[in-house]
Amino acid sequence: MRAVIQRVSEASCRVDDKITGAIGHGFLVLLGIEDADTDEDLQWLAQKITNLRVFGDENGLMNKALADIDGGILLISQFTLFAQTKKGNRPSFIRAARPDKAIPLYEKMKSTLESLINKKVEAGIFGADMKISLVNDGPVTIIMDTKNKE
């Protein structure tokens, strides 16, 4: 699994001009799932996301986690995070998991994050043409890949 985590002061997702999810302060998480991903990968990544200390404390240092600021999560599926661009100019997405594998893992990631932060995780719609709006706070953008756990 690969995630791009952006610290935001607000973020929202629209599908067909309807808001499917919106948050104030917190994380916009773009999540890519590949065929090799396991439940272990999911658990590791969910823990890392929810415990990531990138929010400012009283001294302006990045010392606080999501729970410390009562932040939200907007979770967006994004298979393009597994684009392969070595050859030619048209990316290949062969490593991205097909919907029959990706959808259950995406839904499980959503419920796992909800249990870790004790609040509803806002989300896009898997496979839809989504319009994402955000105000990146900082900017702070972190990339995590479960293949780089060590």
| pLDDT tens digits along 51-91 | 999 999 999 899 999 999 999 999 999 998 988 888 888 88
- As a whole number of angstroms, the distance between CA 32 and CA 17 comes to 24
Q: How confident is the model at residue 108 (pLDDT cuts 50, 70, 90)?
A: very high
Is 80 among the catalytic positions? Answer: yes
User: How crowded is the C-beta side of 14, counted as CA atoms within 13 Å?
Assistant: 7
The SS3 of residue 55 is: strand
The active-site residue, picked from 80, 85, 112, 141, is 80
Alpha helices in the chain (DSSP H): 39-51, 99-117
Q: Are 23 and 10 in contact (CB under 8 A)?
A: yes
- As a whole number of angstroms, the distance between CA 26 and CA 71 comes to 4
Residue 14 has pLDDT above 80, yes or no: yes
Residue 116's domain comprises 2-148
Instruction: Provide, rounded to the nearest whole percent, the portion of the chain with pLDDT above 90.
Output: 87
- As a whole number of angstroms, the distance between CA 97 and CA 84 comes to 14
The number of folded domains in the chain is 1
Instruction: Provide, rounded to the nearest whole percent, the portion of the chain with pLDDT above 70.
Output: 100
Q: How confident is the model at residue 95 (pLDDT cuts 50, 70, 90)?
A: confident
DSSP symbol at 109? H
4, two tokens: 């791009």
Residue 150 has pLDDT above 80, yes or no: no
Cα-flanking dihedrals φ and ψ of residue 113, to 5°? Answer: -60, -40
Q: What is the CATH number of the domain that holds 9?
A: 3.50.80.10
The identity of residue 102, as a single letter, is A
Residue 106 has pLDDT above 80, yes or no: yes
pTM over the 0.85 mark: yes
Q: Are 112 and 42 in contact (CB under 8 A)?
A: yes
The pLDDT score that the predictor gives to residue 19 is 98
